[in-house]
Amino acid sequence: MSGFSLVAFDLDGVLVDGTGSWSDVHKALGTDKLSRNHGRDFYNGKITFDEWARKDTDLWKGVDFDRIREALYKTKLMNGAQETISTLREWGYRTAIISGGLQILADRVREDLGIDYAIANRLLFKDNKLCGIDQRVDFKGKGRILERIIKENRIERDETVAVGDYINDIPLFEAAGYSIAFNPKDDRLLAYADEVIMEKDLTMILPLLKDGR
């Protein structure tokens, strides 16, 4: 393995440890039970992913930005995340977050770790109150976003690495040259992964990428 120059990470369950940014807000606001109905409708084919996101966001309308940010900022980084991103930067890699989670958390992690790109779903606010969502990363959209970043950086697909944990990372894996399933939550992801890591220690990806540049 050689010639890697860009690593694209999922956020929830990969760069941060927890059940997910959507779930964290639902738990903080007491809307988690209602949100489970939306998730069930999506997986049963009754609503689209965008409709699921809008229905979930509707549960939070009128909530202060600071309250949502507080819920998200309680999320802890994955073990080894700081060392991993720092090392990749030293090796000359560019890094990206591509997440179906929430931009507020993605921006915080990007700033904390020094990541180059962070693309997630952006909550919209008016007068500091939540009023909607800019749905930028749908259930199958991660691959298209990675392809855009590849083009912007004028690199080849084979130079890219994807790190994810769930079935919505399959398009990301398909768009990358090399894919790592990190504590996968669904066995369907394994068919698309070149490597599988089953420990909550992000530094375990480093030996796979050491000779990338």
Any idea which residues carry the catalytic annotation? 10, 12
How many Å apart are CA 83 and CA 210, to the nearest integer?
13
The alpha carbon torsion through 155, 156, 158, 160 (nearest 10 deg) reads: 40
* Amino acid making up residue 34: L
**Other Cβ atoms within 10 Å of 24 Cβ, number:** 23
DSSP 115-160: -SEEEEEEEEEETTEEEEEE--S-TT-HHHHHHHHHHHTT--GGGE
106: left (phi over 0), alpha (psi -120 to 50) or beta: alpha
